[in-house]
Amino acid sequence: MDARSSVAPPRTGKTLHRFANPGQFLRTSGKVLPWLFWVGALLTVAGVIWGLFFAPDDWQQGDTVRIMYVHVPFAWLASAGYFSLAACCFVSLVWRHPLADLAAAEIGPVGAGFTAICLATGSLWGKPTWGTWWVWDARLTSVLVLFLLYLGHIALVRAFDDPTRGYRAGAILALVGVINLPIIKFSVDWWNTLHQPASIGLMGAPTIASSMLWPLLFSAFGFTLLFIAITIARTRAAVMERRIRSLLMARASSPGGEEIPL
Amino acid sequence: MTHLPYIVAAYVLAVGMPVVLSVEVLFRVRSARRRLQAIDTRRDRG
């Protein structure tokens, strides 16, 4: 018997709960995951090489503009990752979706890592461009708050002996922290910041040259697919680890149950 | 390239993070799969 067949049978009914079934999740994600990972890796490599070696220098920033091809995707994913974390927490709180708890707990460390890289690459761009590693600018500060929210969620989820209580507490923090996302997005419009306003928006044409836009889009799409693939893979691992824990507990509590050395 | 160290450091961090996370999750999934198989094997024997 393998990991997939050892989980509970699929529950029929509402769509959301059908996909909540761990066995269904393992089967579906097992098929999708290699595609997500390898397409993401290829796009990332293409975007990174394009941005590093073939995209033109900026007339104002010079060659430091190349940092944009990695900094901007990480900045987008820091916010998008937190939104997906909050969405999982919402689903967990409202529908008690068992996979949503696990997914939220696994998005947290990945999102925190991506936010840390966003801050670090921003500093590496700021030093030669602004002459300083850090300023208490509204955009930079709100992204730092986002990083702290990720860390807070990770800490809360792991702070309780009963995982369910940790998931609940983490979910409440994550939902309260959503207020920070519009602050990050509009901080460059609401306040007079050193950070430049957005060059790419959903509502209008981008204000950067297409020779810079395409490598940025390749890089952003590639890193996004990698983010999704890593999160799904971590959630798969979490599902299997939970199954292991429940099997060991069942074995330990059964009369005459022997301990399984692992 | 006049700011090469900054650019290289940014790219190393940006590419390194997904690589580290991917390798970590690969080992984690393998370990979980091995442990599940060990439990299932013992359960089948028992």
Query: Is A44 close to B15, i.e. CB distance below 8 A?
Result: yes
User: By the 8 A CB rule, do B29 and A237 touch?
Assistant: yes
User: Residue A227 has what pLDDT?
Assistant: 98
Percent pLDDT > 90 in chain A is: 65
Q: What is the pLDDT of residues B1-46, one digit of tens each?
A: 588 999 999 999 999 999 999 999 999 999 999 998 888 787 666 6
User: By the 8 A CB rule, do A236 and A30 touch?
Assistant: yes
CA distance B13 to chain A (A): 7
Residue tagged 């995707």 (tokens): A73
Q: Closest Cα to residue A55, out of A202, A160, A183, A211?
A: A211
Cross-chain CB nearest to B29 (options A227, A233, A244): A233
**Which tokens go with A62?**
């010079």
pTM: 0.89
- Please list every residue in chain A whose beta carbon sits closer than 8 Å to the beta carbon of residue B10: 67, 70-71, 120-121, 124-125
Query: Is B3 close to A62, i.e. CB distance below 8 A?
Result: yes
Q: What is the pLDDT of residues A95-138, one digit of tens each?
A: 888 899 999 999 999 999 999 999 999 999 999 999 999 999 99
Residue A203 binned pLDDT confidence (cut-offs 50, 70, 90):
low
Q: Which amino acid is at A17?
A: H
User: Residue A8 has what pLDDT?
Assistant: 47
Cross-chain CB nearest to A226 (options B6, B18, B32): B18
Residue tagged 């390194």 (tokens): B16
Q: What is the pLDDT of residues A216-258, one digit of tens each?
A: 999 999 999 999 999 999 999 999 999 998 888 887 887 665 5
Residue A15 binned pLDDT confidence (cut-offs 50, 70, 90):
low
Query: Is A117 close to B15, i.e. CB distance below 8 A?
Result: no
Residue A4 binned pLDDT confidence (cut-offs 50, 70, 90):
very low
**Residue A3 backbone phi and psi in degrees, to 5:** -60, -35
Tell me what ipTM this predicted complex has. Answer: 0.91
Residue A12 binned pLDDT confidence (cut-offs 50, 70, 90):
very low
- Please list every residue in chain B whose beta carbon sits closer than 8 Å to the beta carbon of residue A114: 17
Give Dmax over CA atoms of chain A in angstroms: 76
Residue A17 binned pLDDT confidence (cut-offs 50, 70, 90):
low
**Which tokens go with A201?**
């928006």
Q: Closest Cα to residue A188, out of A55, A20, A75?
A: A75
CB atoms within 10 A of CB A231: 24
Query: Is A6 close to B37, i.e. CB distance below 8 A?
Result: no
Mean pLDDT of chain A: 87
User: Residue A2 has what pLDDT?
Assistant: 42
User: Residue A10 has what pLDDT?
Assistant: 43
**Which tokens go with A166?**
């940790």
User: Residue A19 has what pLDDT?
Assistant: 62
User: By the 8 A CB rule, do A51 and A219 touch?
Assistant: yes
- Please list every residue in chain A whose beta carbon sits closer than 8 Å to the beta carbon of residue B14: 48, 70-71, 74, 117, 121, 223
Cross-chain CB nearest to B36 (options A3, A110, A223): A3
Domain holding B18, by residue range, is 1-46
Q: Coil, strand, or helix at residue A135?
A: coil
Based on C-alpha coordinates, what's the Rg of chain A? 21
Higher per-residue pLDDT: A180 or A5: A180
Q: What is the DSSP letter of A9?
A: P
Query: Is A3 close to B32, i.e. CB distance below 8 A?
Result: yes
Domain total for chain B? Answer: 1
Q: Closest Cα to residue B14, out of A80, A136, A220?
A: A220
